[in-house]
Chain A
Amino acid sequence: MVRAHASSDLQPTPMEQPSSSSAYGFLTVVDSPTHGLFGGYLLVDAAGRPLEFHCTAPVKVSRAQQILYGATLQGHLHGQQIGAALLAEASVEPLVVLTDLDSMLAVRPHTDLPVALVTRADAAAGFELGTAKVTAAGADPAAETVLRERLEPLAAVVDLHEPFDRIRAAIEEAQRH
């Protein structure tokens, strides 16, 4: 006799809300040729486990908008529109918000959280953590020390590029669904 499994079986019973001091945010945008831009924001704990995930409805940009915004378009879309909308929805306040898109650093004026860019280890700027290089938004040297201290525990167990792959996989899944 098989008992039907409910979704609660997959997700353990709610536990105490994790302290915001152990959360990390990963923020990126996936460009789908058919649907448009999807924003994804994943909050993980210090062990890299998911706490929250937020994703946007697709945003389509017209040719006219591309012309009107010119070079400012990506920063405006990623940072001001998508990034800010996603950060506003999170109930957990992370230690750091990481992004793998330069244009997403434009979210910085819309949040009090430290925001940093994760690049490959061979990038010129930033400090190394595992296989990644991290650059603080605004290239503030003081911010770099804080960022390093905050990110080291996470980087010890998770490749800092890896959570972005999860976001992309989840957004792909959402498009299929």
Chain B
Amino acid sequence: MTGPTAAAAAVRSFRVADLALPGVRVLPAVDPRIAGPSALRLPIEFSEPRVVRLPLLDVRPAVSSFSFAPAVAPAALAPPRATPGRRAPGEPPPPAEPPAPRRTRITPPRDVVKLSERFFFLLQPHLETILETSRLEFPRQPFPFQFDGMAFLLPRHGAVLADEMGLGKSMQAISSLRLLIRSGQAKRVLVVCPKGLVSNWARELADWAPELVVAVIEGEQARRRWQWSLTDVPVKLANYEAVVRDRELVAELGLEFDLVVLDEAQRIKNRSSQTSHAIRDLKRSRSWALTGTPVENSAEDLVSLFEFVAPGHLNDRMSPRALGAAAADHVLRRTKDKVLTDMPPRLNRDERIELSPEQRETYRRAEEEGVLRLSALGNEATIQNVFELVLRLKQICNFDTATGESAKLDCLEAELEEIHASGRKSLVFSQWVQTLGRLKDRLERFGALEYHGGMSTAARDEAIRKFKHDKKHGVLLLSYGAGAVGLNLQFSQYVFLFDRWWNPAIEDQAINRAHRIGAVGAVTVTRYLSVDTIEERIDEVLRSKRDLSDTILSQAEAPASSGLTADEIFSLFKLTPPRRAAA
């Protein structure tokens, strides 16, 4: 033992006289001036003191150790620049290149509980460093919020990327799956998207992950069997219908995926649908859902989505606030106004159209007759009856069924004249394919092209190609069903909603085909509303409802639904829904 403790250990008993302190006279135990046998004798020695031991710091602390295998292949681990060679004497060293200023950390999700696994994420360098040293090139520099999106997806086995449309959800998912594949953490990835978006996804994969081989699941059954069973292809791309159709085949082949990515994941919001069952049956270790509208109509949408993302994590009995809290760590949602402060603005115009006198007369007659019929039905009236009347009136708002007149089209035509002359491009959305056909006839001189579900995939791709690259095609006519999702048409600066959809979320999706990243200027959105018609009444109802999606995602109080209820549909005609005993 060394140091102060050793000195302390050497302490022993001593006499006062031994102290021999300078300037202090020590008296003997008995004063000689006091005589006699009764003199007191005082002890001159102290009792032995207690030894105090002070622990020294010579015991090394216990050490816990964690080791990590390299996350990427050794070749990719090499620094991107060659190690500088030997310099001539006196030659100044080349300055080290300053690292990129943006820094994104990958933080472990809440459901990773083992300390070693949490350390694995916490001890990784910034995402930008990982990308740089993995030699992954991008067609363009991702936005900072897109790096955040990748850092969110990468460590998660169950994730919902719920960014507003136009913020690049597919690019973030592709870049993340690319990193997982590069690091060896994923070898078999399945991307599932709506049929109309397969070629779009194939293009995006080729742009953002050019080195990845992608197999598109399509064609006859024998061909699909062969495509499903390919083992040396890291990414398979299938549409929802193919997954449903090949459900048994996938099971028979015993396919398991390291990652399944669902695009437009609201497709599985109906839990009892075949699509939802087939998707949930896929054997997988990671489940990522991409959707701009995680809550389209009701809170149940989110619960259904979680049956894929994290089964059992949410349930229907939870309050909106509880749902929001339980889902929080799995859901990432950003809106354009929050993350793209420098994005061109979106200008909304509600154009109120007066029907032509003939159109008005047709409309009035149809409404009166329809309401009379509904009244006559009394308690037998169904929501379907009302719905049919709504659709009929909406169609008359578009075109007079008797004369073919259309006040909306007159207005649209006039507006397109000016836009087309300036060389700008426009998107026009309608609920009906038939309406698109009639618009095409009248807008031929603007090179109008159609894009809807009645066309083959090849024909739709060709329409997009022409609209993108050929100046003479200034107008693209789209149906909400086929054109509202997944298309990147940010070179268009005008969007017209010729008629209105039932759900504002779908309209937003349509608008965001143009108002998205890469938009070259302000996007003007014109929504046509026929004055004093069913269109105005629907608009009022939708406006009065609060947005449930925002409510859940912000954990605030929730309204019942953002769509129209049966009561609301009946009230469009000032009718009371029948109350049946069984209902």
Known: A5-B286, A52-B65, A58-B61. 5 other contacts (CB 8 A): A49-B71, A65-B55, A91-B67, A153-B81, A157-B133
Partner of B74, one of A15, A44, A50, A62: A15
> Which B residues lie within 8 Å of A54 (CB)?
63-66
Within 8 Å by CB of B129, from A1, A48, A82, A152, lies A48
Q: Which residues of A32-65 have CB atoms within 8 Å of chain B's CB atoms?
A: 39, 42, 44-59, 61-62, 64-65
Q: Is B79 an interface residue (CB 8 A)?
A: yes
Which chain A residue has the least Cβ–Cβ distance from B83? Answer: A153
Is A139 an interface residue, CB under 8 A from the partner? Answer: no
A9 touches B81 (CB 8 A): no
Instruction: Check B68–A177 contact: CB distance below 8 A.
Output: no
A44: B residues at CB distance < 8 A: 125
B69 touching A11 by the CB < 8 A rule?
A: yes
Contacts of B95 in A (CB 8 A): 128
Query: Are B68's CB and A53's CB within 8 A?
Result: yes
Docked CA distance A46–B132 (Å) = 12
**Range class of the B interface residue count:** 35 or more
Query: Which of B60, B68, B117, B280 lies in contact with A1, CB distance below 8 A?
Result: B280
A11 to B282 Cα, complex, angstroms: 23
Chain B residues positioned under 8 Å from A42 (CB to CB): 123
Q: Is B4 an interface residue (CB 8 A)?
A: yes
A68 to B8, CA, bound (A): 12
20 residue pairs bridging A and B, Cβ less than 8 Å apart:
A1-B280, A1-B281, A7-B114, A7-B117, A11-B68, A46-B78, A49-B68, A49-B71, A49-B77, A50-B68, A51-B67, A52-B65, A58-B61, A90-B65, A130-B96, A130-B97, A156-B80, A157-B80, A157-B99, A166-B124
User: Judging by beta carbons under 8 Å apart, are B125 and A47 in contact?
Assistant: yes
Please give the residue numbers on chain A whose beta carbons come within 8 Å of chain B beta carbons, in ascending order.
1-3, 5, 7, 9-16, 18, 22, 39, 42, 44-59, 61-62, 64-65, 68-69, 76-77, 81-82, 84-86, 88-91, 128-131, 148-149, 152-159, 162-163, 166-167, 169-170, 173-174, 177
Instruction: For A16, give the chain B residue with the smallest CB separation.
Output: B74
**Assembly CA distance A85 to B57 (angstroms):** 13
CB of B284 within 8 A of CB of A12, answer no
Q: Mark contacts of B67-106 with chain A using CB atoms, 8 A cut-off: 1 yes-contact digit, 0 otherwise.
A: 1111110100111110110000000011111110001000
* Pair B96/A156 contact, Cβ less than 8 Å: yes
Cα(A12)–Cα(B180), bound, Å: 10
Task: Decide if A2 touches B311 in the complex (CB within 8 Å).
Answer: yes
Report chain A residues within 8 Å CB of B63: 39, 54-57, 85-86, 88-89
Contact B79 A7 (CB under 8 A): no
Known: A81-B60, A158-B129. A173 touches B118 (CB 8 A): yes
On whether the beta carbons of A65 and B57 are closer than 8 Å, the reply is yes
- Whether the pair A52, B68 counts as a contact (CB closer than 8 A) is yes
* Contact assessment for B184 and A130 in the assembled complex, using a CB-CB cutoff below 8 Å: no
Pick the most buried of B69, B103, B120, B126: most chain A CB atoms within 10 A of its CB. B69
Query: Which residues of B156-214 are within 8 A (CB) of A?
Result: 157-158, 183-185
Write the nearest CB–CB distance from A141 to chain B, whole angstroms.
14
Does residue B285 face the partner (Cβ distance < 8 Å to A)? yes
Contact in complex: A14, B69 (CB < 8 Å): yes
Chain B's closest residue to A46 (CB) is B79
B residues 106-148 near A (Cβ < 8 Å) are: 112, 114-126, 129-130, 132-134
Shortest beta-carbon contacts, A-B, top 8: A47-B133, A48-B125, A85-B60, A50-B123, A56-B61, A155-B96, A57-B62, A130-B96
Let me know if A52 and B66 touch, CB within 8 A: yes
Query: Given the complex, which residues of A lie within 8 Å of B3, measured CB to CB?
Result: 68
Least CB separation from B60: chain A residue: A85
* Least CB distance, B322 to chain A, in whole angstroms: 22
User: Given A2-B311, A54-B64, A91-B67, does the pair A46, B77 have CB atoms closer than 8 Å?
Assistant: yes
With A54-B63, A81-B60 known to touch, is A2 a contact of B287 (CB < 8 Å)? Answer: yes
A59 to B287, CA, bound (A): 43
Q: Given contacts A11-B120, A16-B74, are A55 and B96 in contact (CB under 8 A)?
A: no
B153 to chain A, nearest CB (A): 14
